[in-house]
Amino acid sequence: MVQNKPLLSLKEVVAYVNPNTPAQTALLNQLNLEIFEGDFITVIGPNGAGKSTLFNTIAGSIPVGSGQLLHHGRNIAKENVVKRSQFISRVFQDPKMGTAPRMTVAENLNLAAKRGDSRTLKLRGLKKKRQLFKKLTASMNNGLADKLDVATENLSGGQRQALSFLMAIIKRPELLLLDEHTAALDPKTSAQLMEQTNRNITEQKLTCLMITHRMDDALKYGNRLVVLDKGKITFDVSGEQKKKLTKEDLLALFSEIE
């Protein structure tokens, strides 16, 4: 099989907190990672390993201290969050973070659909958009479709996270970052959203990195799994090898780490 060029490469990336002060600490430690188009990578690692820092560094909310962040071979390390949001979208753990609480489900989806467009929405497009929003929300299979005109502050956590997920993918991002997006939900709701997440990612062939503490999810979903520890990728497995990986293998890796 011909290996494509990576969509995103991190080369020897170091990210600091409190840069240029006596308290400067490296959170990413010369980290190397290549992400290929169509990769669905589950990211696991102990608390404090640097998983969210990795996402912050890719998205641009933490600066690249040294090393390179290459998007199709071009170094984007100096580009800001807004610029990078043209190709990256992200869903966070906290259901309150992804949506505007006073706005309705349809208004939130509309905002997400218009992101990056300079033109304002034409009125005659509204009916079509509503049909699209109805279809998208119905596909999440959790009652969201009946709440298009409800303010998102009145949704359940699961519905809010499903909406955040739809908003993140509505414009087909080149790279989707899921930061424990089901962790705040009860097990049944989390499993339901994970199924819908997986369906969308695989059907639409999205490229995705997903942080999770749920070993079962890390094993079940995605074509690739990486372990992050002390700011470095310490394990990277894909394809058939990933399919063969067991929970025991992962737990053994973790006991080596801790």
For ligand ATP, give the closer residue by CB, 63 or 125: 63
- How many residues contact ligand ATP, by CB under 6 A? 10
How many Å apart are CA 11 and CA 69, to the nearest integer? 6
For ligand ATP, give the closer residue by CB, 39 or 179: 179
Using the rule CB under 6 A, is 49 a contact of ligand ATP?
yes
* Displacement of CA 41 from its chain's centroid (Å): 10
Using the rule CB under 6 A, is 53 a contact of ligand ATP?
yes
Binding region for ligand ATP (CB under 6 A) out of 43-51, 137-145, 165-173, 216-224: 43-51
Q: How far is the CB of 164 from ligand ATP (least distance, A)?
A: 18
Q: What is the identity of the amino acid at 220?
A: K
For ligand ATP, give the closer residue by CB, 48 or 101: 48
List 24, 32, 48, 138, residue binding ligand ATP (CB under 6 A): 48
Using the rule CB under 6 A, is 181 a contact of ligand ATP?
no
For ligand ATP, give the closer residue by CB, 49 or 70: 49
Burial 97-133 (b: 16+ CB within 10 A, else e): ebbeeeebbbbbbbebbeeeeeeeeeeeeeeebeeeb
Name the token pair of 44: 């696991």
Q: How far is the CB of 95 from ligand ATP (least distance, A)?
A: 16
Binding region for ligand ATP (CB under 6 A) out of 7-15, 45-53, 110-118, 119-127: 45-53
Using the rule CB under 6 A, is 60 a contact of ligand ATP?
no
CA distances to 113, 184, 252 from 237, in Å:
35, 27, 15
224-229 and 208-211 beta bridge pairing = unpaired
Binding mask 11-30 for ligand ATP (x = CB under 6 A): ------x---------x---
How many Å apart are CA 210 and CA 219, to the nearest integer? 12
Residue 67 Rama label (left phi>0; alpha psi -120 to 50; beta) = left
Q: How far is the CB of 46 from ligand ATP (least distance, A)?
A: 7
Phi and psi at 96, nearest 5°, equal -80, -15
Task: Give the footprint of ligand ATP on this chain (CB under 6 A).
Answer: 17, 27, 45, 47-53
